[in-house]
Amino acid sequence: MRRRIYKINKEDLDYIIINNLKWYKEPLRVAGYGELTYTSGGKTYYYYTFAQAQQAASSIGKRIPTQAEYSALGNLGFSWDVSLKGIWLGLDANEKQESKTSLFLPALGNAPSGVVGNFGLHGTYWSSTMGPTYPYNLNFSSTFIISNNTSYATSYFTAIFVDQV
């Protein structure tokens, strides 16, 4: 049996409670699931297929948000942050600073063909919800946010993880 090796950093376990969910502040970084990696600014980011993201989150006792949970979070408010290159979601999203009611998601790009692109310009985060044909994801840039986007399950996107309160 192949053993999964992963490292959880302390900052990966920092979370904020919004809509009765613990939203973890760092994207999922669990190695050993066939993921792609991309390093920028000395930090390594992980990109998974739909199945890999579910397995990686489950391996640490967490889960990926549903499409409805992303939608509810976005409905509270959202704002693009030019300097941080990402999106703030939550009640204080327009403040563009860390608070108890907003979450920042960096625009980590995506890798639908296995090569990371659009880093700092666009973000695509897996949801755990399967659509009629393809899984849903949260898709955003400086000009839009879509929580009901679908993509091939074999695309490589990043993921964030949640827990029940």
HSE-up (13 A, CA, CB side) for residue 129: 18
Q: Is the pLDDT of residue 92 over 90?
A: no
DSSP structural state of residue 156: B
**Closest among 101, 109, 134 to 37, alpha carbons compared:** 109
- Cα separation of the two ends of the chain: 34
Q: Are 165 and 21 in contact (CB under 8 A)?
A: yes
The rounded distance, in Å, linking the Cα atoms of 21 and 127 is: 14
Q: Is the pLDDT of residue 81 over 70?
A: yes
Average pLDDT score over the chain: 87
Average pLDDT over residues 29-42: 89
The rounded distance, in Å, linking the Cα atoms of 123 and 137 is: 10
Q: Is the pLDDT of residue 152 over 80?
A: yes
Q: Are 89 and 31 in contact (CB under 8 A)?
A: no
**Where does the chain show beta strands of DSSP type E?**
15-18, 21-24, 36-40, 43-47, 78-81, 86-90, 102-106, 122-130, 135-141, 145-150, 162-164
Q: Is the pLDDT of residue 16 over 70?
A: yes
